[in-house]
Amino acid sequence: MCCAGSEQRLTCTDQMMLFGKVSQQLCGIKKLPWSCDSRYFWGWLNAVFNKVDYDRIRDVGPDRAASEWLLRCGAMVRYHGQERWQMDYNHLPTGPLDKYKIQAIDATNSCIMSIGFDHMGNYPIILLIGNADDLQ
């Protein structure tokens, strides 16, 4: 699936689909001692995606670290001075760390959790959330 020297990244949705298929196959085995209720697994996986990496924030700044976190969880980001939404983790803009400041976040149908909000620091932004019942 992956060649030496190449780098492949899976989106949050891709990883969920992959783990869902694996968990369905494991649930077909009758001798497993644990429950096949995947709710706890998805909660754990989402918590892993939302874990704050303070070293990363220090290294690349809060805007870049927050952008990486949000895109990894399926959200979209818009920066000051830009009209288009950033949706692809692999196409995050490069340049000086203070050049791209987050203006708005569209977290509709994303897997962000409140435990990841420390990525965003203490500055005001516009946050759009769809399916807010899923926000934990």
Tell me 98's DSSP state.
T
SS3 67: helix
Q: How far apart are CA 134 and CA 76, in angstroms?
A: 17
Amino acid 90: pLDDT: 93
Does 110 score more than 60 pLDDT? yes
Q: Are 77 and 67 in contact (CB under 8 A)?
A: yes
Domain boundaries, the chain: 49-134
**For range 108-136, the mean pLDDT:** 71
Fold of 49-134: 3.80.10
Cα of first residue to Cα of last residue in the chain, in angstroms, is 34
Q: Which of 3-12, 22-31, 39-48, 52-61 is predicted with the least confidence, judged by mean pLDDT?
A: 3-12
Q: Are 65 and 57 in contact (CB under 8 A)?
A: yes
Tens digit of pLDDT for each residue in 58-105?
A: 998 889 999 999 998 899 999 999 999 999 999 998 888 788 999 888
Q: Please provide the average confidence, as pLDDT, over all residues in the chain.
A: 73
Amino acid 88: pLDDT: 94
